[in-house]
Amino acid sequence: MNIRALAANALGPLLRQHGSLSTHLPDALEHCPQQDRALLQQLCYGTMRELFRLQALAARLLQKPFKRQDSDLQALLLIGLWQLRSSRIPAHAALHETVEATEVLNKPWAKKLFNAVLRRYQREQDKLEQALSEDPCFTWNHPQWFIDKLSHNWPEHWQSILHANDQQAPLTLRTNGRQLSRRQALEQLAEAGIDATPCRFSPVGLSLSQAMDVNAVPGFAAGQFSVQDEAAQLAAELVDAKPGERILDACAAPGGKLCHLLEATPGLQEVIAVELEPARAQRIADNLQRLGLELECRTLTADASSQDWWDGIAFDRILVDAPCSGTGVIRRHPDIKWLRKGDEIAALAQVQLNILANLWQMLKPGGRLVYATCSIFSQENERIIERFLRQQNDARHETIDAKWGEARPFGRQLFPLNGGHDGFYYAVLNKTTDDSTA
């Protein structure tokens, strides 16, 4: 079994803009021996994390680019360069296994080419990288549109955001307060030899010092813990649900914020989760079942921008976890910066505004709506809220008083933090009881 060839087959379609890591890697893992799965993940995630630097180097090393039908070879070369440049894999092993993978891919004609190109990189690494030092895409390892947009949005933060995007995110858990306190959770993990520290902002968050198979965490299968980034854990406190209220979680998959809401507030009158895609709706069901919460929520496969599914009974609280560019979670999904295109942001923003306007009609007077995205672009965040408030006379923006993130004219923005939370955005809106006060 050649693990490099498996990785190349997983990444090849991505380079053609087909699918994502989350769609292709699971199949590769199924065909990978158990003892090699960690290496396969390391090769795929590492290569995608440094993709723009690796592509720039490959372009320097090749006389002509690979043909489209050879995207597996293109991926394999990037994997080889990543091993030599950034991994702890011995260079001789990385080079040998990568060259041999050309035969496994049924393209033995490329064997000599790979051997020559990778050995040249070994000899000339400093010279090659120095020649690319003036290329922003190589320096910052992001597409040019992303660098331009980010530096315009955040002139004081863009460099630190780009740097944070290239770091591996920590494994963060949410403690199920119905079953144990965070103090008890820390003691339980320590007894199992797992080093964990309390998150800074979430009262139920724990950050593990080392990544591990979450199924090996004692109590995970019993529902004592869930995997959830600290930034996402802040949603439940902002929604501030009360017993007896009717709650809507829109665009709810995979259900982390929904489950947190249920854990934090027993005795809710009714909770409805809406998700457009059936496969993602199933993930909500799976999470609810693992946590023993399936009887406390009703999941609908429906479009949050439509009212076809609504029974006409207004909600006390609504969480709008809007579909977005995902640019705040690139550390966890490094293929985002390759797959996402700059011209998609405006279209996403219109979808977000449409969903927000539609769901607002379902909120009771005096009700509370929390708007959230995992984006770092203001076009999807504070500008959406600003546009909405201009259109909606009965909407009032509530300032979020918190120690996390950066206060904006509307809402608060979190940036990805090394060793800490992902990039995220939150805004809180209240519906007035009399729209004539506008």
DSSP assignment of 38-67 equals HHHHHHHHHHHHTHHHHHHHHHHH-SSPPP
Q: What is the pLDDT along the chain (438 residues), one digit of tens a residue?
A: 899 999 999 999 999 999 999 999 999 999 999 999 999 999 999 999 999 999 999 999 999 999 999 999 999 999 999 999 999 999 999 999 999 999 999 999 999 999 999 999 999 999 999 999 999 999 999 999 999 999 999 999 999 999 999 999 999 999 999 999 999 999 999 999 999 999 999 999 999 999 999 999 999 999 999 999 999 999 999 999 999 999 999 999 999 999 999 999 999 999 999 999 999 999 999 999 999 999 999 999 999 999 999 999 999 999 999 999 999 999 999 999 999 999 999 999 999 999 999 999 999 999 999 999 999 999 999 999 999 999 999 999 999 999 999 999 999 999 999 999 999 999 999 999 875 444
CA atoms of 429 and 409, how far apart (whole Å): 13
pLDDT at residue 1 in the model: 82
Residues 296/284, Cβ–Cβ less than 8 Å: no
> What are the DSSP calls for 160-225, one per residue?
HHHHHHTSPPPEEEEE-TTT--HHHHHHHHHHTT--EEE-SS-TTEEEESS---GGGSTTTTTTSE
**Tokens representing 377?**
């672009």
Instruction: Residue 348: name the closest of 149, 209, 199, 214 by CA.
Output: 149
Residue with the two structure tokens 């307060």: 177
Report pTM: 0.95
Residue 269's contacts (CB-CB under 8 Å, 6 or more residues apart) are 244, 245, 246
Tell me, rounded to whole angstroms, the distance of Cα 222 from its chain centroid: 25
Task: Reply yes or no on whether 324 is catalytic.
Answer: no
Rounded Cα distance between 291 and 44, Å, is 31
Q: Are strands 424-431 and 363-373 parallel, antiparallel or unpaired?
A: antiparallel
Q: Which of 44, 259, 324, 374 is catalytic?
A: 374
- The answer to whether residues 270 and 264 touch, using CB atoms and an 8 Å cutoff, is no
Q: With the C-alpha atoms ordered 127, 164, 87, 30, is the resulting torsion angle positive or negative?
A: negative
Alpha-carbon distance of 151 to 334, in angstroms, equals 19
pLDDT tens column, 191-230: 999 999 999 999 999 999 999 999 999 999 999 999 999 9
Q: How far apart are the two ends of the chain, measured CA to CA in Å? A: 67
DSSP string computed for 363-432: EEEEEEEEEEES---GGGTHHHHHHHHHH-TTEEEE----SSSEE-SSSEEEPP-TTS---EEEEEEEE-
